[in-house]
Structure 1
Amino acid sequence: MRQWYLALLSVFASLPAMALTFQTRLESIEWTVEGDKFECRLSQPITDFGAGEFVRRAGEQATFRLKAYNAIIGGGSATLLAAAAPWQPGRGDINLGAVQIGSGNVLFRSSQVQAARLINGLMDGRSPVLRHSSGDGRVSEVRLLPVKFSKAFSEYQGCVARLLPKNFEQVKQSRIGFHGQSIDLDGQAKAQLQEMLEFMKADPTVNHIELDGHSDNSGNRLTNRDLSRRRALAVMEFFKANGIQESQITLRFHGERYPLAPNTTAANRAKNRRVNVHLARMAPTEKPAPRATATVSAASTS
């Protein structure tokens, strides 16, 4: 413990003149882990300032953000560092680049690359440091310490292992393709729909599905329209078989009217044979926005 205090004294001695440093006293440092299937957070409170926090959303890598109670640090650019520990002589700080300081509760969010390097630094005894210089020459620093990090990081990794494969922005829309004149779901299509289904089961607020069936122009217009309907029905039946109520599904079919690409090549026609699936959060009294095309309710297509 005495070595830690001596090391911290050397940190203060090495700071530029007029520097203002925010960090928690050594004996009070704690890392906390919170999260669920959608997001994991690993944070260290910073006395009289706020908190530094690693955040990892489902389907993404972690980012680092700095939260402040008040507008203590002015706006503009600041430097993010993985600062060397003073008890490891000969090691320099790692400059992770500039970040822009905002005016809200969250001062900045790092890139995923910067966050990964901060985590690696903490495992190596380094401190995440934000250094900001004002126009009058004053320097402000916000510092997290690596004390107790390894144990907390292990708990955080346990949280990460329970995250869903994707977050809502990544899973809310999908395009299900079909071969030739087929209306059958292949393995890839079922895997795509399964991801959407798992998210709906994890988040009950995602409670509505919109299905839009499409075809290429290989057949006549009536045949193509019927194909697009039967493909949308195939997707609807997948969801119904896995516990989704028919009342939660809106089904539309458009035939060849809305191609993604000109039907001039086999590859383009494959793109156009599809069902677009869209997940939504809807209040009980809310209805899907109407579209200027043939629309039927799920009940009327059975």
Structure 2
Amino acid sequence: MRQHYLALLSLIASLPAVAITFQTRLEKVEWKVEGDQFECRLSQSITDFGVGEFVRRAGEQATFRLQAREQWMGSGSATLLAAAVPWQPGRGDINLGVVSVGSGEVPLNSSQQQGARLLSGLLDGRSPLVRHRTLQGGEGLEVRLLPVKFNKAYSDYLACTAKLLPVNFDQIKQAQIGFPGGGSALDDASRAKLEIILQYLKADPSVNHIELDGHSDNGGSRLTNRDLSRRRALAVLDYFKANGVPEQQIVMRFHGERYPVAQNNNETNRARNRRVTVHLSREAAPADTPTPAAVAPNPAAAS
């Protein structure tokens, strides 16, 4: 009898701990799509936990993240799966690897690759599933989204992403306009890059300060190089002004050969040094200057 008892205890000890599962009831599952030119979000509320959502910023692919109303998750790492749903017996889960778990309102944020695979899994009827542990006591924890009603929401999400800007602020806030031919005239590639910057500036009027820094290689005298860097910066400034950017928002400097980004030891490196750096920023308006509501910063554009 004692042997049977010990064997039973051994069996119980070997069983996995029962996980705390957060999941919305099937009949209450809803997907929500929100967004603008800067960011699109596809989300599902999770009962008693918070929200699971896909977030795609302009210029990037979507990531998957969890928003938690309470601090359920302990710091460390969690496993992310495109899991088979309970009503599909015999179908295996797809392990998408680990993702870091931190503190705060958004404890988990996947990579773009993981986000794309989760979206693909949802289209295939799979569930985004996070396996981790609770902060209190370290019990197993699972957070699951269900693929119910997903296709219609995904169609609306795609319509949102089609209107995204080509870049986000982090990608555009410091750009280099090249002059590889050695002169001070803008070429097609430079104008194309400036057009992307202008498109962002028109969409986000909270970006109201531009700094232009002209540079050259060391191919001429210092005075010649300084003047060439000035004319390059002036070419970019004139392009911005011609396209409606107020001159008072622009600061122009020129440095000649003083600040190379590469050694001037071959033609490729010299071409890299012939450039204008464009730095964008948000400067607060003076306290006595009212900000029109029409140009108030969009929260989704904040970086």
User: Structure 1 length normalisation: TM-score?
Assistant: 0.85
Q: What is aligned with 2:203? A: 202
Q: What is aligned with 1:53? A: 53
CA contact (8 A) 2:182 2:271 kept: no
CA contact (8 A) 2:216 2:225 kept: yes
CA contact (8 A) 1:83 1:128 kept: yes
CA contact (8 A) 2:206 2:282 kept: yes
When residues 223 and 148 of structure 1 are mapped into structure 2, their CA distance, relative to the original with a 3 A threshold, is same
Cα shift at 1:217: 2.2
Q: What is aligned with 1:94? A: 94
How many residues align? The count is 272
Opposite residue 241 of structure 1, the aligned amino acid is: A
The 1-side partners of 2:49 and 2:182 are apart by 63
Q: What is aligned with 2:149? A: 148
The 2-side partners of 1:213 and 1:259 are apart by 11
Cα shift at 1:74: 3.1
The 1-side partners of 2:229 and 2:286 are apart by 29
Cα shift at 1:125: 1.1
Percent of aligned positions with the same letter in both sequences? Answer: 67
Unaligned runs of 5+ in 2: 1-14, 288-303
The 1-side partners of 2:59 and 2:226 are apart by 36
User: Structure 2 length normalisation: TM-score?
Assistant: 0.84
Cα shift at 1:60: 0.7
Unaligned runs of 5+ in 1: 1-14, 287-302
Q: What is aligned with 1:228? A: 229
Find the residue that maps to 2:284 and give its secondary structure. coil
Cα shift at 1:282: 1.1
Q: What is aligned with 2:218? A: 217
Cα shift at 1:132: 2.2
Q: What is aligned with 2:78? A: 78
Opposite residue 62 of structure 1, the aligned amino acid is: A
Cα shift at 1:16: 5.8
Cα shift at 1:139: 2.3
Q: What is aligned with 2:294? A: none
Q: What is aligned with 1:271? A: 272
CA contact (8 A) 1:212 1:252 kept: yes
When residues 220 and 99 of structure 1 are mapped into structure 2, their CA distance, relative to the original with a 3 A threshold, is closer
The C-alpha deviation readout for 1:31-52, integer Å capped at 9, x for no partner, is 0011111111000001111010
The 2-side partners of 1:120 and 1:176 are apart by 37
